[in-house]
Structure 1
Amino acid sequence: MQTTAKLYKIMNKQGVRVQSSQVDQEMRVWTERYTDWLAEKPARSPRIVYQRDRARVIHSASFRRLQAKTQIFGLNESDFYRTRLTHSMEVAQIGSGLVEQLVTVALEKETQGPTPPWLDWLPSFYLIEAICLAHDLGHPPYGHGGETALNYMMRQYGGFEGNAQTLRILAKLGEYTAKNGIDLSRRATLGVLKYPAIYDDVIHTWPDYLSRCDEPEVSDFRTLSMRQWHPPKSLYRDEAHVFEWVLAPFSDTDRQAFTRLTPVKDGFDRTGHTGLDTTIMELADDIAYGIHDLEDAVAMGMVPKELWCDEVIHSEVFQAHPLWDDTMTERLFSPRSKDRKHAISHMVGIMIESIRIDEHPDFEHPLLRYQARLGEGEMAVLELLKRFVYRYVITLPEVKGMEYKGQLIVLELFKSLRANPQALLPRNTFAKYERAGSERAQQRVICDYIAGMTNTYASRLYNKFFSATQGSIFDRL
């Protein structure tokens, strides 16, 4: 373990994770790609594989399209505000910072005793960045509004869910391989599995939802209550074979515990566990959501200083865990952007420096047993910030109104493409539609087409179809 610690010091200088030969051999099953597994090809070194995982995500069309997909505010609000692309980049940066902090903690503990056993199982910088950059690939146009709209249109055909669509892109739709998508390594794929359950299984845990699915489609989408159509957190049945491949190295006991659903009253049952890498990615995502997205709201003037003080600084949670002083608030609401950026950076740093590794006693494998956590106070304040952003930013009528408009665009596009696939689908997409072996598969082709659209593309296509003064045969979308 002394050798491992020294190698980590080298990693910190060079940005490369180097592992002991014994652990490297144990890791080879996790560096395997699905395409190579089918061809019975040997797995390669973690350093090479995870670097290429990150490269495959960055160079994918799905990743580039995130630049024109909504984070919170509309794309035409300003060039300053975050998109799904900039959000994903910030999550990757925070994820690397969390891993680096864990390495630092482990090396400090080495001076006091044995090196923590979880050190060898930490993801490399390449790996955690690949997972973080990929985590939002499946989000459709117009964010969660578009997600809900697609789920309604697919309610009888396997549903739609953003995280499930991410796995579909990685396993099938991505352009890197002919049949197996972007084809990331087994461990990188495990890292993006936030909800290890199949959609078809989860929906049967809520009878009320199933009964609504059997109701006829509404004639006017403006009368549809979209709150009833939020999808369950899950994966598609179409990618079940890749899901099983990812979980194959775990014992039967671990697999059963990992995929077990927890009952929920008046809702879908939910999964309760994620892997080590996923816990790091989710913490990075939460920090970016609760703090970086807060910056956009403050800069836009949507969150006044008085509201911040009343709801956050003077709250019972923050009074119990005062992570920063009044100077931080003054900087956050300063008219100078540099002061605001300094405050945001300091808040992020406080969260990162509190990370630790806990052990979950119900699991045997290190990738499931070890779980990343923030300190108690930091986690409580982060949850407070997330609730604040949700209540005073996400659910504002101005924001929800744009989400509602996006939902209607997605619903109308799907309805028209479903009724006239031969006339309206692009030729290559219609070719996939014709090759589909069932109605369910055909509807999935249409769904994939719309889910892959940017906000801009969906808006232009809607105007081309439905506006008398817009559109031309020479308008190449």
Structure 2
Amino acid sequence: MPTWETLLSLKRQGDKNKRIRKEQDDTRLGFEVDYDRVIFSSEFRSLQDKTQVIPLSKTDFVHTRLTHSLEVSVVGRSLGRLVGKKVLEKHPQLKGTHGHHFNDFGAIVAAAALAHDIGNPPFGHSGERAIGDYFKFGNGKRFKDQLPEVVYQDLSKFEGNANGFKLLTNDNYGSPGGLRLSYATLGAFTKYPKASLPHKPTKQVADKKFGFFNQQQEKFQDVAEELGLEKNADGEEVRYKRHPLAFLVEAADDICYTIIDFEDGINLGLIQEDYALEYLSKIVSKTINTEKYSKLSTTKNRISYLRSLAIGALIEDAVSLFMENEEAILKGDYHQALLDKSAYKVQIEDIIKISIKNIYQSQEVLDKEIAGYKILTKILDDFTTAVEHQHAGNASNFDKLILKNFLKDFDFSESKLEDWLIDVCSFVASLTDSNALRTYRKLTGSDL
């Protein structure tokens, strides 16, 4: 069973010496450096042009992936600090012997939460499906017999979480170790600490998806070993128990997308305001100031007030659930998302149902997802064909133009098929919504 001492490791990829918490400069703690490195990265900046709810929307109300990630980080920091305070009270040696502070927990969760969407493709989850379907049903099927089974599974079930781990840890442009985040933050980031194969769906929340590509498997195993994460099964299966703080990253994301997507839907007119009071009233009943609420004159201000109270109530509830189950979480015997056990589960489910119906399945979203599907399929087809032809020595002039104009930062000449395919997919996933659209127009000649 891992201990908090190992789970709070400050080690970074490539470290030669051990990093000791008591020797850290509290004015710039290592976990806080993680946050800085994520926020200054180009991968994070690209999230400003990846919309959270409605792809390619120019509506002022709508959250982008960047604003969503910032909000999840703020909620995650609060969750981490509140849990950290209680954990230190329960395990005083963490503070006395090792010098940990409750802010350490907040900084780790905040940094991991800030990065939680960093690997997501343009056009939301439909972007993930578009990449996967290209290899499962489209022209990408031509590679299936040439690839190890696990690599084909990585591609045909392309996963933004795994791509995020790749972006955070991959050697790029003379920068070994990627962003070189602390292993504690990488552990908290990885909500699904398993490889894509064997595909054995269970009711355990950590088995819902996979968290790293085969290309990064050894790097994750190094992280898991340092943190003391236990394997979840015998044999050759690469499947680990979760880092406890991953539950808080997940809770922060669940809280934000449940409440804030709902708020977006109301502000966009996709959901009636009356629903907000109906569904949020039971969550905020203990904290709402009805006199103050009645004086708010606009829908936007009323919904903002209810959203703030609801998030506060869900944070308090998630912290209580974490501490009630802390021992089981440490042992890896807790297998549900915290909000699945929430006192407000019924209200959360009602909100998600109406959001699915009125927002996620609205005509505008469906129209833009269809367009995104077409865009990513075309880009993938032209890019993979160009690299494939280059390796075969029969690249056409069009292939060479693609390599020179779009893939000039890559040298695929010595890359194995399994590596360059993942690298191309990761690059396509890094495109913003607008950049993907511009690339598509250039490839089809419609930008002339």
Tell me the TM-score normalised to structure 2 length.
0.76
- Tell me if structure 1 keeps the 8 A contact 2:117–2:160: yes
1:35 paired with 2:14, answer: yes
Q: Distance between the aligned counterparts of 2:329 and 2:280, measured in 1?
A: 39
Out of 115, 125, 128, the residue aligned to residue 134 of structure 1 is: 115
Q: Sequence identity of aligned pairs in percent? A: 24
Q: Distance between the aligned counterparts of 1:272 and 1:377, measured in 2?
A: 29
1:401 Cα offset (Å): 1.9
Report which structure shows greater RCO (CA 8 Å, sep ≥6): 2
Letter in structure 2 aligned against 1:151: G
Out of 426, 437, 441, the residue aligned to residue 459 of structure 1 is: 437
1:250 Cα offset (Å): 5.7
Question: Where does residue 297 of structure 1 map in the other structure?
Answer: 265
Q: 1:158-173 alignment to 2 at 5 Å?
A: 158-159=154-155, 160-172=158-170
Question: Where does residue 350 of structure 1 map in the other structure?
Answer: 313
Task: Indicate the SS of the match to 2:210.
Answer: coil
Question: Where does residue 474 of structure 1 map in the other structure?
Answer: none
Q: Distance between the aligned counterparts of 2:118 and 2:198, measured in 1?
A: 24
What do residues 379-438 of structure 1 show as CA deviations (whole Å, max 9, x unaligned)?
Answer: 443343233322321122321221121111000111112223432134683563523432
- Tell me if structure 2 keeps the 8 A contact 1:95–1:128: yes
What do residues 218-240 of structure 1 show as CA deviations (whole Å, max 9, x unaligned)?
Answer: xxxxxxxxxxxxx9534210010
Aligned residues: 397
Unaligned runs of 5+ in 1: 1-22, 207-230, 262-269, 472-477
Q: Distance between the aligned counterparts of 2:351 and 2:94, measured in 1?
A: 30
Question: Where does residue 300 of structure 2 map in the other structure?
Answer: 337
Q: Distance between the aligned counterparts of 2:32 and 2:178, measured in 1?
A: 17
Cα distance, 1:237–1:124 mapped onto 2, change above 3 Å: same
Q: Distance between the aligned counterparts of 1:399 and 1:333, measured in 2?
A: 31
1:238 paired with 2:215, answer: yes
Cα distance, 1:332–1:198 mapped onto 2, change above 3 Å: farther
Cα distance, 1:351–1:180 mapped onto 2, change above 3 Å: same
Cα distance, 1:322–1:462 mapped onto 2, change above 3 Å: same
Task: Indicate the SS of the match to 1:74.
Answer: coil
- Tell me if structure 1 keeps the 8 A contact 2:52–2:65: yes
1:418 paired with 2:397, answer: no
Letter in structure 1 aligned against 2:266: V
Q: Distance between the aligned counterparts of 2:86 and 2:227, measured in 1?
A: 28
Question: Where does residue 68 of structure 1 map in the other structure?
Answer: 49
Tell me how large the CA RMSD over aligned residues is: 3.9
Moved more, 412-421 or 276-285: 412-421
Cα distance, 1:443–1:359 mapped onto 2, change above 3 Å: same
Question: Where does residue 32 of structure 2 map in the other structure?
Answer: 51
Q: Distance between the aligned counterparts of 1:118 and 1:303, measured in 2?
A: 47
Letter in structure 1 aligned against 2:169: A
1:181 paired with 2:178, answer: yes
Question: Where does residue 130 of structure 2 map in the other structure?
Answer: 149
What do residues 146-200 of structure 1 show as CA deviations (whole Å, max 9, x unaligned)?
Answer: 111111234544312100000000110666x623211211110001111111124
Question: Where does residue 424 of structure 2 map in the other structure?
Answer: 446
Unaligned runs of 5+ in 2: 137-143, 145-151, 202-207, 388-399
1:333 Cα offset (Å): 10
Letter in structure 1 aligned against 2:161: N
